[in-house]
């Protein structure tokens, strides 16, 4: 039979607390012998307190009333793992990083920057971006000149000739159409029907080789010659003889079959 380590009273069988002082049964070394009569024994200081504040003797985990030791007085494995820790300050998403407090008027310390042209030695830290390589200039596109070789109608001679006038027409285009005329002969005919045309007219009533218009810019003289056209050549609504010719003045109206145009002579100088 075990005895109570506090008061020495025997424990009843199958009991966990002393029936005299209500101390819990604790397996351990036998109690120290009582001091001789008349010698006062100092009560040891309590090592802990229960959850209700009652003193608990050293080596016990319950107070005299059976209350367990307070949680903060227990020595748990792991040291201060369960101690209160400071929660890190949460930062709003997208907010700039918090800067340390600087007194008013104090200069703000700037982080050192890597040398110019070198990348940052710290991972994740942006460094100066190297300049992109120069973009080569696109090749120059030659601009078309306004020479005779570039602006002459289909089939005109390749050699350069002096501009002497224009044929202007509003026959089938309300916005107007013009054909340049050059010094010397200008062959006139239906577009796509013959080669070597200086003026190609898109009209079915115009013959493939309809007429030739001669211009002399020095004397401002112009002559129209019919080449035996089927539907005839008209000057101011007067028909030329078959394979005949007639002198022209600037402003005269000429009709090739049914296609009507007006002659404009460009003087020199």
Cβ-based neighbours of 130, under 8 Å, separated by 6 or more: 117
For the question of whether the overall pTM of this predicted structure is more than 0.85, the answer is: no
Map tokens 């002659």 to a residue.
Answer: 263
pLDDT band at 209 (very low <50, low <70, confident <90, very high): very high
Tell me how far apart the alpha carbons of residues 172 and 144 are, in angstroms, rounded to a whole number: 28
Would you say residue 217 has pLDDT above 70?
yes
- What percentage of the chain carries pLDDT values higher than 70? 57
Q: Which of 50, 54, 59 is nearest to 25 (CA)?
A: 59
Distances (CA, A) of 150 to 82, 166, 179, 191, 202: 94, 16, 13, 18, 21
Q: What is the pLDDT of residues 174-193, one digit of tens each?
A: 999 999 999 999 999 999 99
Structure tokens at 170: 């509003």
Query: How high does pLDDT run on average in the chain?
Result: 75
pLDDT of residue 135: 79
CA 196 to chain CA centroid, Å, is: 55
Q: Which of 146, 247, 148, 157 is nearest to 198 (CA)?
A: 157
pLDDT band at 145 (very low <50, low <70, confident <90, very high): very low
Helix (H/G/I), strand (E/B), else coil: 73? helix
C-beta atoms surrounding 114 within 10 Å: 13
pLDDT average, residue stretch 5-16: 70
Map tokens 């002399």 to a residue.
Answer: 216
pLDDT of residue 181: 96
Q: Structural domains in the chain?
A: 1-78 (no CATH), 155-265 (2.60.200.20)
Tell me how far apart the alpha carbons of residues 157 and 148 are, in angstroms, rounded to a whole number: 9
pLDDT of residue 99: 64
Cα radius of gyration (the chain): 60
Q: In this structure, are strands 184-190 and 199-201 parallel, antiparallel, or unpaired?
A: parallel
Would you say residue 210 has pLDDT above 70?
yes
Assess contact for 165 and 197: CB atoms under 8 A: no
Q: Which long-range contacts (CB under 8 A, 24 or more apart) does 72-76 make?
A: 73/48, 73/49
Strand order in the sheet with 184-190: 199-201, 184-190, 211-216, 221-226, 245-248
Assess contact for 21 and 28: CB atoms under 8 A: no
pLDDT band at 39 (very low <50, low <70, confident <90, very high): low
- What percentage of the chain carries pLDDT values higher than 90? 35
């Amino acid at each position: 039979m075990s005895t109570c380590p506090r008061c020495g009273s025997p424990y009843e069988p199958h009991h966990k607390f002393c029936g005299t002082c209500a101390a819990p049964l604790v397996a351990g070394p036998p109690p120290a012998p009582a001091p001789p009569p008349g010698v006062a024994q100092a009560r040891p200081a309590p090592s802990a307190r229960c959850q209700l504040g009652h003193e608990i003797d050293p080596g016990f985990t319950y107070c005299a009333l059976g209350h367990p030791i307070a949680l903060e007085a227990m020595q748990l494995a792991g040291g201060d793992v369960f101690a209160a820790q400071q929660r890190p300050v949460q930062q709003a998403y997208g907010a700039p990083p918090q800067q340390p407090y600087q007194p008013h008027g104090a200069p703000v310390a700037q982080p050192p920057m890597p040398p110019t042209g070198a990348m940052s030695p710290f991972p994740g830290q942006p460094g100066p971006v190297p300049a992109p390589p120069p973009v080569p200039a696109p090749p120059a596109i030659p601009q078309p000149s306004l020479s005779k070789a570039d602006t002459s109608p289909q089939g005109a001679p390749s050699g350069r000739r002096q501009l002497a006038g224009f044929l202007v027409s509003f026959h089938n285009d309300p916005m107007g159409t013009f054909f340049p005329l050059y010094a010397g002969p200008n062959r006139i005919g239906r577009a796509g029907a013959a080669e070597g045309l200086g003026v190609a007219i898109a009209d079915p009533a115009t013959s493939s080789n309809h007429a030739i218009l001669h211009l002399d810019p020095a004397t401002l003289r112009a002559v129209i010659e019919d080449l035996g056209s089927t539907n005839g050549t008209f000057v101011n609504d007067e028909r030329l003889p078959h394979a005949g010719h007639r002198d022209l003045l600037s402003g005269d109206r000429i009709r090739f079959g049914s296609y009507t145009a007006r002659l404009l002579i460009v003087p020199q100088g």
